[in-house]
Amino acid sequence: MVEHGDIRVVHRGGSKINFRKPVITNDSRFLLCASGESVKVFSTSTEECIHDLRGHTDLVTGVLIKPSNHLQAFSCSADGTVRLWDFTDGILIKVRLLPSIVVCPVLSVSVSSQSAHHTFYFLSLSCTYGEYIASANGLQLEVYFFKKFSLKEDNKKGGKNTFTCVACHPNDDCIATGHEDGKIRLWRNFNHKKEYTYSTLHWHHSAVSSLSFTPEGTNLLSGGIESVLVQWRYNQENQRDFLPRLGAAITHIAVSPDGALYCTSHSDNKITIIQSCVKVSAVIQGLVKGESVGTDLMIDPRSKSLVLNGKPGHLQFYSLQRDKLLYNLDIVQQEYIHESGLQQFEVVKAAFDASGNWLATVEERKQKGAELELNLKLWAFDEQTQSFVLNTTISAPHEAQITGMCFSHATDSQTTMLVSTSKDGHFKAWQLAAQSQTDGPSWSCDFVGAYHGLVPECCSFSADGSLLAVSFQEVVTVWSPASWELLTTLSQPPKAIRNLCFGRLSCSKYLLGTTDSNLLCCWNLLTCSLEWSTSMDVSLLLADPLSENMAAFCCQAGCTDLFVFKPSEPRPLFSQKAVCSGMVTRAVFAPREEMLESCEESSQWLNRSQLYFLTQYMVNNTNRSAVKEKKSAVLNVAMTPFYLLLGKHRQQQQGGDDPQSGVSAERTPLPQGSVAIKELLQTPAHVLPSTSFLCSMFVQSLLISVTDSREESKHAEEEMESEKEEEDSEEEIESSRTRPEQQAAVGGGEAAESAAPAMTKAQVRELRRVKKLDHSWLAGLLDS
């Protein structure tokens, strides 16, 4: 039995896996990385997440393999704790609370030198060079201060000397530092009395983001915005190797203890596993978080994955259940150039049709002194490749920026229709043309609409596709897609309408909209009048496609409030103040894999769907019910013919102890349930034959037909054996009656009170007859 408690916001997925430098285990089998409030353990060969180590209550800031046990790892967090994990089994071993110590948000420890008495460690800070090293020896903590290196902010050639990263050589007294001007400096003689010296390496054209020596110190690895891993030969700096086209800027570089694997973290929340700078062996991709999300949050009707902007020019399909990227769809189909200030095509709009067969995307590019470039692309789903393939490209579909786009939701419609609105003052209807003998299906413009020269802002189809609502500033127009006749207009106070949304199911007659004057309005399309309105600054309004529920996010005082309601009811179903900090920019209802059967009234709106939203801080969250497990009491079920048909006793199903264990042990073992009956009860009613048809066949199966004397004699022998068994059974029943009575005299009568009532001979005989009946007709019926 499941008990549902309060609704709370939880982090659902999409945490950064490139936040800190990843760690490769000694055997190179696993990779550990900080991911939000947890530590993820990935397989370096299969790319799968083996364990998700959860326990920290705040951001994990560092991960380190335990030196004395290579099967354990430390993790530190901003919650002030250090935890020790067995990462192979995913078990928490120990927790250390550090109340008086601030856990450093950057912990990247590399061994500098070792001796018989001391072990020195450098704390490699990401932005500034450390001023000391620390050594732990017995019960003493010793701090050694050394010279502070300083460089002028700008050199004579105009380069920038700011430190960006640092790495220590594992054997020699050498420190490598990366700089903002793309140079790498190798510092030596810093521990001697004489002046320090340094040499300079230069290949990167922008800032060096990460440096790392190999375990033997023979090579130095560097990376930056160029998406190229550079391998420098130590003491032979003129010899270097390159691994280009890694897909995104490199943020961290890690090397396995045996030097067999390299690992690079990238700005697109990706980790690349490389075999000794030769080839890429695995790619672990997280949720890509760009500078902004131009598209809405969408759910792919086929894969049920979350779809939104990914890396530049792409849409990403992300599995919410597995917290894993499924694939990227290249929309722009142009090579992205990593150069600041360069304007390139971006995906700004996207929409799926109801069946998931079609995907529409809008890409745009605005260059200085040039007109806006627009492309509308229609993508068809390919069953063979299980991906979308470009079908139609429409250049300059509008003369100005596209403000809204939506498909008709009707799944039974003979034609597929797409509507787009633009700042050029028009909305256009695009229709899928019939497939010709030579060419496949293609899209063309079917209608161009306008209203008094006003600019359309948004559009929405009704659930059955029979109505189209388009907002022109403060006026809502309702059109018939069948004839493109303007049916009615709905006026508003003098402020533009921001969102339009039709109700679903029993609330399909309502149309809701939000305005710049902080109003939430509901119109009744049957009466063409305003049903109700309320003063509310709604930043985002959306409808659950599987129910009548709608969600409204309201931002005030730096926080966002959530209201869930039905358009037909005056009071909200659910409301929560300050559901998150900042403003919710995107949200979507995602269908559940399994519907919740029972739920409290305040959270019934989450029975079919979950609400996912994205804040302005680019954190992916979800609302879900808190589920608590509660053990249920064992129930006694009377011995009836229907019970025998259904199957085993409740004790056998739950595997628990029965208060009547003394009684049930004495009874005849109950028969196994009919698989056909179970399938019948579990089969949806709308796919079963009529009840009259099933009833007649069931009654016929109960009739016993005797064909010859052999069968009659056989039945007579069975009856004699049955009567003999009945006498034995009566003795067993009598004995089972007396035992609970004896137990009741000792234990207070509890077993006697819970015992099932005794059966007569006629009832036992009837049960045996039902048990022997042939119900194979039902299995045959279901198979057909």
Asked if residue 331 lies in contact with residue 359, where contact means CB atoms within 8 angstroms, the answer is no
Pick the closest to residue 486 from 424, 528, 432 (CA basis): 528
- Judge whether residue 656 has pLDDT over 60: no
Q: Please report the sign of the dihedral spanned by the C-alpha atoms of residue 250, residue 252, residue 256, residue 257.
A: positive
pLDDT band at 555 (very low <50, low <70, confident <90, very high): confident
- Judge whether residue 659 has pLDDT over 90: no
709's tokens: 């004397």
Strand partners, 480: 485
* Top mean-pLDDT range of 271-275, 660-664, 717-721: 271-275
Spatial neighbors of 75 by CB under 8 A, at least 6 apart, are 34, 39, 53, 56, 60, 62, 63, 64, 82, 83, 85
SS3 372: coil
What integer pLDDT is reported at residue 680 of this predicted model? 59
- Rounded CA-CA distance 378/396 in Å is 14
Question: Which pLDDT tens digit goes with each residue over 333-374?
Answer: 887 776 667 788 899 999 999 989 999 999 999 887 788 999
- Rounded CA-CA distance 178/160 in Å is 11
Helix axes 709-747, 761-771, angle to 10 degrees: 120
- Judge whether residue 699 has pLDDT over 80: no
- Rounded CA-CA distance 274/680 in Å is 54
Pick the closest to residue 62 from 5, 122, 1, 103 (CA basis): 103
- Judge whether residue 238 has pLDDT over 50: yes
Kindly state the average pLDDT of the residues 110-123: 35
Portion of the chain with pLDDT greater than 70, in percent? 68
549's tokens: 């529920």
What integer pLDDT is reported at residue 618 of this predicted model? 53
Kindly state the average pLDDT of the residues 405-423: 84
The sheet carrying 183-188 orders its strands as 163-168, 174-179, 183-188, 197-202
Three-state SS across 709-721? HHHHHHHHHHHHH
Strand segments, DSSP code E, in 592-635 are 609-615, 620-629
Kindly state the average pLDDT of the residues 522-545: 90
- Statement: 122-285 belongs to CATH 3.30.470.10: no
What integer pLDDT is reported at residue 569 of this predicted model? 86
**Residue of higher predicted confidence among 111 and 7:** 7
| Residue-averaged pLDDT of the chain | 76
What integer pLDDT is reported at residue 157 of this predicted model? 58
Asked if residue 35 lies in contact with residue 22, where contact means CB atoms within 8 angstroms, the answer is no
- Judge whether residue 635 has pLDDT over 50: no
Task: Out of 5-19, 141-155, 221-235, 510-524, pick the least confident.
Answer: 141-155
What are the sequence ranges of the domains in the chain?
122-285, 289-335+343-397
**Residue of higher predicted confidence among 463 and 631:** 463
Q: Is the pTM of this model over 0.75?
A: no
What integer pLDDT is reported at residue 495 of this predicted model? 83
Tell me the residue length of the chain: 784
Kindly state the average pLDDT of the residues 563-567: 92
Helix axes 776-783, 675-682, angle to 10 degrees: 50
